[in-house]
Amino acid sequence: MASSLAPSDGLDADGVRAYRLALAREARRYKRYPREAIEAGWQGTVEVLVAVAAGGVAEAPQLVRSSGQAALDDAALDMLRHALPATPLPPTLRGRPFAVNLPVVFELPD
């Protein structure tokens, strides 16, 4: 999924891509499939928006598209909240506001 701001906005596309990948990698460390969702057989994809202000501070993750299950949505937002402080901002993006969308997929094994 691409960033919300296009390279034509003067952003370093490689920097945005690198940040998005680093954030996704860090977020995976905090991914927890809610027990109630496993027991109920709930699956789905949650789309989360992370906006970073010009000062380099990431805003709280926002739900863009629900999985249809609040437990999965909450788990996705929680994992991004934990990952944000541990994900460094590339130097080429400092001083520039931007946003990235991240899909979080919850799938049970067959």
11, part of any domain: yes
User: 67 is in which domain, residue-wise?
Assistant: 7-106
The per-residue pLDDT for 84 is 95
pLDDT at position 9 over 80: no
Report the alpha-carbon distance of residue 72 to residue 89 in Å, rounded: 27
Closest CA to 63 of 78, 82, 43: 78
Task: Tell me how far the alpha carbon of residue 22 is from its chain's centroid.
Answer: 10
Dig out the tokens for 5 from the structure.
Answer: 């701001």
1, part of any domain: no
Considering the entire predicted model, what is its pTM? Answer: 0.86
Report the alpha-carbon distance of residue 86 to residue 76 in Å, rounded: 16
2, part of any domain: no
Task: Tell me how far the alpha carbon of residue 59 is from its chain's centroid.
Answer: 11
Where do runs of H (alpha helix) occur along 1-110? 13-28, 35-40, 70-83
pLDDT at position 7 over 90: no
pLDDT tens-digit map of 38-51: 999 999 999 999 99
Neighbours of 16 (CB within 10 A): 25
CATH number at residue 62: 3.30.2420
Domain count, the chain: 1
